[in-house]
Amino acid sequence: MKNKLLLVFAMALFAVQNSNSQIKETETKYISSENGSTTSCPFFTSDRKGRTVMTYGKETTGKDAVLNYAVFNAKTKSFGAPIEIPSSKGVELHGENMPKMVFKPNGEIIAVWGIDNPTPKKKYGGLIQYSQSFDGGKNWTPAKRLVNDQNGIDQRYFDIDLLPSGEVAIIWLDNRTKTDLDGSTLYYAVTKGKKGFQNEKVIGETTCQCCRTDLFVGKNGVIYAAYRDIINEEIRDMVLSYSSDNGKTFSKPKRISADDWKINGCPHTGPTMTHNENGLHFAWFTMGGGAGVFYANSSDNGKSFSKRDNVSANASAKHPQISALKNSNVVIVWDESAEINGNYFNRIGLQHRAKNGKVMETEFVTSSAEGMSTFPIVKALSETEVLIAWSQGGKEAKVGYKTVRIGNQKSSKSVKNKSVVER
């Protein structure tokens, strides 16, 4: 009886909130692929013309997985024909270690991805490879290893971004360490023209081994690196390190939030950040002091942080991604599990916050119709519109995407989650 009452209340609440909502969605579209193939692990970037580009992995029965990319058509709200990167065959498809691309101002394109590298010392080890194109994607160099040191048997969970110089920076987690403490080591490298990534160096130690990292170059030119650190050998909280001298030196890592999450294992869900006129904005998952996805900001570019604020209190809420709109407001997406009448599924949540971090509106942009939707990504298209994509599991795994119009949000009123009954 109690569950029935909860369901009636949730349905009534959903109807009221839906009528007040300013978030408007298009229908879900899917990346097309031939029979016998599946797609997953989307990632957004922009080309030299400012067009949105999505990379994703494609798996075909009996063949190695390969990296593809497609350009978004702003008029039709859909992606064009996929382009395959032949040198990426064998790419590992993992939502925390997704393949990525970056377009340099000089016309060069760099694709980066992971491959499996199991060894007696690292059963689930991996390597990072990359390929370059100097003719707009028509031809690609053979795959190169990011790390040539034979002692480097495990490099994963990387992130890349474009520097003001036009070169590309990368960070990643590496097995090579100079300490006996648990954890991986955070490395940093930068491209040098056609020579690719050069001059790797350590910028952090005792990092959580299997959570994605986040590299972000602010409009102020500061290079920010966020990751889950292992503090005092038992706490796994998010930290931020930054460089104000073009990567020559990085600050000592500082906790974004003192969650004090003590866990002897890796949760496989890393941090995300963005930058606007008010400073830095972060989102992450923790089970320290409460479980779910949380948010904080920094108005002094990483020297201090606001008190954390809940994004979703659902303990299953994970894998957040964040983006700043053209008007400096912020959008956060994440995935979490839900249940309706015994039907369990994963949905994608979206939260719109003002440029100072105050919650404006929260909704779910997928439902049970989209099944197991995980690892969402988000990219701002304008002041009022974002593009969202995610991996959709099931028998025919595929990448789904849609555009979401936020609306002219002038009110600071928070519209709570359109909830289904969760048990």
Q: What pLDDT, in 10s, does the model give residues 52-95?
A: 999 999 999 889 999 999 999 999 999 999 999 999 999 999 99
Instruction: Identify whether 259 is part of a domain.
Output: yes
Which tens digits make up the pLDDT trace of 153-170? 999 999 999 999 999 999
Instruction: Identify whether 412 is part of a domain.
Output: no
pLDDT at 20 (0 to 100): 55
Instruction: Identify whether 410 is part of a domain.
Output: no
Instruction: Identify whether 12 is part of a domain.
Output: no
Instruction: Identify whether 43 is part of a domain.
Output: yes
Phi-psi region of 48 (alpha: psi -120 to 50; beta: other; left: phi over 0): alpha
CA-derived radius of gyration, the chain: 21
pLDDT tens for the 423 residues of the chain, in order? 444 433 333 333 333 334 456 788 889 999 977 778 999 999 999 999 999 999 999 999 889 999 999 999 999 999 999 999 999 999 999 999 999 999 999 999 999 999 999 999 899 899 999 999 999 999 999 999 999 999 999 999 999 999 999 999 999 999 999 998 999 999 999 999 999 999 999 999 999 999 999 999 998 999 999 999 999 999 999 999 999 999 999 999 999 999 999 999 889 999 999 999 999 999 999 999 999 999 999 999 899 999 999 999 999 999 999 999 999 999 999 999 999 988 999 999 999 999 999 999 999 999 998 889 999 999 999 999 999 999 998 778 999 999 999 965 443 334 344 333 332
pLDDT at 26 (0 to 100): 87
Which uninterrupted H or E stretch holds 59? Answer: strand 52-60
Tokens linked to 25: 């969605």
Question: Whole-angstrom Cα distance, residue 67 to residue 72?
Answer: 17
Instruction: Identify whether 234 is part of a domain.
Output: yes
Q: What are phi and psi of 370, to 5 degrees?
A: -90, 0
Instruction: Identify whether 419 is part of a domain.
Output: no
Closest to 402 measured CA to CA, from 77, 82, 45:
77
Instruction: Identify whether 16 is part of a domain.
Output: no
pLDDT at 12 (0 to 100): 37
Number of domains comprising the chain: 1
pLDDT at 168 (0 to 100): 98
Query: Which residue type, as a one-letter code, is found at position 180?
Result: D
pLDDT at 422 (0 to 100): 32
Residue-range definition of the domain harbouring residue 153: 24-405
pLDDT at 421 (0 to 100): 30
SS3 at position 87: helix
Give strand pairing partners of 174. Answer: 155, 185
Q: What is the domain-level CATH number for residue 87?
A: 2.120.10.10
